[in-house]
Amino acid sequence: MGGTAARPLRADAERSVRAILEAAERVLVDDPAASLEQIAAAAGVARTTVHRRFASRQALVEALAASAVRQLAQAVDDGRPDTAPPLVAMHRITANVLQVKSAWAFALGLPADPGGEAAALQQDVDRRCVAVLERARADGVVDAGADLDWVRRVYYALIGESLREAAAGADPDALAARIVDTLLRGAGPRG
């Protein structure tokens, strides 16, 4: 983050960076062309503080994207993808991801720099999603012949389609249940 990656930040500097990133998300989701000065004002810090932490607007945007994907990866981890029963993990992960994606819509919508931290973290999230689907297939919850990469992409699309409801305050657990049910059972008649 703007030259601070080599050493850990002090607690007050870390709070300042967090406030700047949170303000950047709020400001940029409404105005993607917003200036560093507008972001500083929204964060309640001096413009020089933003410039001290981030060498450029692009550095701030890259830090914002990486921070959001780290939170997304943490949301997946919190769902216990490797140890919880697959259906429980899928539900928890889905509810967690909906909350993170709703809070960080701008940052998570940014294209990831192919060699950057955000891209590597997103690849890990994708890998872990397929691993949960593999566990679900082993439990007979997902068809043995299913293309798991396709299932992952459909799952992501269902989450994406649910974000407006999540952002509008819909219960993430109820949305997660609907997403997982639709993914696993489709829209066909219930028997």
CATH topology of domain 1-55: Arc Repressor Mutant, subunit A (1.10.10)
Residue 21, pLDDT above cutoff 90: yes
Mean pLDDT of 60-88: 94
Looking at the predicted structure, is the pLDDT value of residue 98 above 60? yes
Mean predicted lDDT score pLDDT of the chain: 90
Tens-place pLDDT, residues 152-186? 999 999 999 999 898 888 999 999 999 999 999 98
Residue ranges, CATH 1.10.357.10, the chain: 64-185
- pLDDT tens by residue, 136-151: 999 999 999 999 999 9
Phi and psi, residue 34, nearest 5°: -55, 150
Contacts of 69-74 with C-beta under 8 Å, sequence gap 24+, read 69/107, 69/108, 69/112, 69/117, 69/118, 69/121, 69/122, 69/125, 70/117, 70/121, 71/100, 71/103, 71/104, 72/97, 72/100, 72/101, 72/104, 72/108, 72/121, 72/122, 72/125, 73/121, 73/124, 73/125
| C-alpha distances in Å from residue 51, one per residue of 32, 38, 153, 157, 170 | 18, 12, 38, 37, 37
- The pLDDT of residue 7 is 55
Check residues 116 and 10 and name the one with the higher pLDDT.
Answer: 116
For residue 2, the model assigns a pLDDT of 45
The answer to whether domain 64-185 has CATH 1.10.357.10 is: yes
Give the per-residue pLDDT at 8.
Answer: 58
pTM over 0.75: yes
Kindly state the tokens that stand for 76: 């997946």
Q: What is the sign of the dihedral through the CA atoms of 29, 66, 89 and 132? A: positive
- Specify whether the CB–CB gap between 118 and 112 falls below 8 A: yes
> How far from the centroid of its chain's Cα atoms is residue 46's Cα?
28
pLDDT band of residue 1 (cuts 50, 70, 90) is very low
pLDDT tens across 2-18, in order? 444 445 567 777 888 99
Res 3: pLDDT: 45
Joined tokens for residue 83: 């140890």
Of residues 44 and 7, more confidence is placed in 44
When pLDDT is averaged across residues 18-28 and rounded to a whole number, the result is 95
Give me the amino acid identity at 4. Answer: T
Where, residue-wise, is CATH 1.10.10 in the chain?
Answer: 1-55
